Amino acid sequence: MNGSERVGALPATEARIVGAPVGAGSGGDSLESEPECWFGPGTGVLGGGSLEGEQEGTLDSDEAGSARVGQRLDALLAQRGLARSRTHATALIAAGLVTVDGHPVTKNSYRVPASSAVAVAASDHWVSRAALKLIAALDAFAVDPRARVVLDAGASTGGFSQVLCERGSRRVLAVDVGHGQFSSQLRGTAGLVVVEGCNVRELTAERLAALTGEAERPSLVTADLSFISLTTVLPALCATATAAADFVLLIKPQFEVGRSGVREGIVRDPALRAAAVMSILRAAYDLGLNTVGVCASSIVGEHGNHEYFVHLARFGGVAPNEWMSRVESLAGQVPLPRRG
């Protein structure tokens, strides 16, 4: 079945491509602001700022030299009680809320001299920086979790789940293979069900209902998974959700390209990053899901990896091949002109 035959498929001119949002700390733009969007073939993709730049401090060269000694900024914030944990500290730093001697620093590994003054301009309540990633993606894709049953696959600390709860989801089913990672701050939140020790690949609609006590299938699925390819998880995610469900999934190329494509934990080749995204779009299409939108994560991943969100749905969107040139541009492989 081709894209034009798919039920509910939009013509290519109505497909959405969302460019890379410029994160806070890069020109001061809010992570919650919606990135610019382009529609249809032949249109440009937002160039945005360098994602790697979001992890770099803004101090001058002399200050940068002196910063090679001292304690890591994220560790120092946690030690001084300015952040609840190093994970929380990383979120504050990435959001541009931390200054060293009055200068904003957006790199969590920045070394702080013992004599320096460190301040947090304003705190936030998010349990992890994953929350900031999902906020930007939901806004970019205009996906509203309000009143929905949502499956949060790979819940980990609970950043995605926290956003989903605060945005009015009727029930959030937070599933993770690990134990003891989910934030104690969130446990007991109304409408939140936490399931630990569950391999998402083994989920079925019946098993999810049995584990959570929620008979209604999810109409929205989010995922932030590590050390596993999304291609191996997509069949289970589809099996648990309603036919009209939206899927907002975080693609981490470092877990899609294989060991040969990763150097020091980072996928540096734009062509490999693009191939990783396309492999997910094609795997989803084989399961009956069209691509509605693609965007770069508002915050780079661990070690500085470029990550991407994709919005998939059975009704709407287009086939993966319609997205190839735009994905390549988004990954930095082939620049497309901005629409003037």
| pLDDT digit string, tens, across residues 307-340 | 999 999 999 899 999 999 899 988 886 444 433 3
Whole-number CA gyration radius for the chain: 20
Give the best-scoring range by mean pLDDT among 63-72, 74-83, 210-219. 210-219
- C-alpha–C-alpha distance, residues 303 and 10, integer Å: 37
Show the tokens assigned to 47. Answer: 């160039």
Q: What is the DSSP letter of 246?
A: E
Q: What pLDDT does 64 receive? A: 46
Q: What pLDDT does 89 receive? A: 82
Q: What pLDDT does 7 receive? A: 42
Show the tokens assigned to 305. Answer: 């990896």
Q: What own/partner pairs with CB < 8 Å and gap ≥ 24 does 33-36 have? A: 33/139, 34/139, 34/140, 35/136, 35/140, 35/295
Give CATH superfamily name and number for 12-51+127-330.
Vaccinia Virus protein VP39 (3.40.50.150)
Q: Which of 52-66, 67-81, 157-171, 192-206 has the lowest mean pLDDT?
A: 52-66
Unique residue bearing structure tokens 């490999």: 272
- Model confidence, pTM: 0.68
Q: Are 57 and 106 in contact (CB under 8 A)?
A: yes
Topology match between the domains 12-51+127-330 and 53-120: no
- C-alpha–C-alpha distance, residues 305 and 310, integer Å: 16
Name the nearest CA neighbour of 293 among 143, 165, 99, 130: 143
As its CATH architecture, domain 53-120 has: Roll (3.10)
Show the tokens assigned to 279. Answer: 């492999």
Show the tokens assigned to 287. Answer: 């399961």
Q: Which of 9-18, 233-242, 254-263, 283-292 has the lowest mean pLDDT?
A: 9-18
pLDDT(95) > 60: yes
- Write down the domain spans for the chain: 12-51+127-330, 53-120
152 sits in which H/E element: strand 149-153
Q: Are 307 and 245 in contact (CB under 8 A)?
A: no
Report the SS3 class of residue 332. coil
Of the two residues 162 and 260, the one the predictor is more confident about is: 162
Contacts of 77 (CB under 8 A, 6+ apart): 83, 86, 89, 92, 93, 98, 118, 120
Q: What pLDDT does 150 receive? A: 99
Query: pLDDT-based confidence at 68, cuts 50/70/90?
Result: low
Q: Are 219 and 148 in contact (CB under 8 A)?
A: yes
User: What count of residues does the chain have?
Assistant: 340
Q: Are 98 and 104 in contact (CB under 8 A)?
A: yes
- Mean pLDDT for 121-126 is 71
Residues 215-246 as b or e (16 or more Cβ within 10 Å = b): eebbbbbbbbbeebbbbebbebbbebbbeebb
Question: Sign (positive/negative) of CA torsion 6, 8, 13, 16?
Answer: negative
Q: Are 143 and 220 in contact (CB under 8 A)?
A: yes
